[in-house]
Amino acid sequence: MPLLNPQAQLLRELRQQAAQLSCGRERGALDERVLAALAATPRERFVPAALRARAHENHALPIGHGQTISQPFIVALMTDLLATQPQHVVLEIGTGSGYQAAILARLVKQVYSLEIIAALASRASQCLRELGLHNVEVRAADGHAGLAAHAPYDGIIVTAAATNVPAALLGQLKPGARLVAPIGLPDQTQTLTVLEKQADGSVQERRVLSVVFVPLTGADAPAD
């Protein structure tokens, strides 16, 4: 059997991991649209130059400022769980490197992404522009309040851990839409959770698997 290139090897690993963990929108499988978006997105562009040789490893990597680019499997899974459609408008809390936003940009009409660290927001925005992904708007802002100007959203994805999802984010979610976030204490194992807003405004919660994310920071973050 011929050797796969690093990108193809990574995609095969993601499919296998989803099957082993029985994760994905369809039990045990990731949406092929999501995997195609990962295949089309050069992860090496979103990591520091010194780490580009490791860009196709299925691991989180540091990107500076105490932040990380998430493990590709977690990016794929969170995107899959969001259940995107081409006409959707999505809000991301925690731009980081911009890699998750780049994946979403290939799947939806518009992405709004908030990043509290201005240097990361600027770097991510530049990288996204260089890749021709002009349907992503990155703002340097505290994500706890969301972005009311473009609400309600067809999906919200939170890429940092909090003990509770900020109420403002749930308020900006359309009925029938999903919010995907790691929920739990900082510096501990959290639970990747899908919150689906019902027609009456109530929220149905589904816990998916254990994860570890950097904490959601900002003015409204709880004190240690």
Give the active site residue among 70, 97, 113, 125.
70
Alpha-carbon span 164 to 185, nearest angstrom? 9
Return the axis-axis angle of helices 32-39 and 6-21, rounded to nearest 10°: 150
Instruction: Mark whether 70 is an active-site residue.
Output: yes
Regarding beta strands 67-69 and 61-64, do their DSSP bridges make them parallel or antiparallel, or are they unpaired? Answer: antiparallel
Residue count of the chain = 224
Q: Who's near 173: CB < 8 A, 6+ residues apart? A: 152, 153, 155, 156, 179, 195, 197
Alpha-carbon span 160 to 103, nearest angstrom? 17
Instruction: Return the ∠ at Cα 44 (arms to 184 and 77), rounded to 5°.
Output: 35
- Alpha-carbon distances, residue 60 vs 54, 57, 175 (angstroms): 10, 8, 32
Active site residues: 70
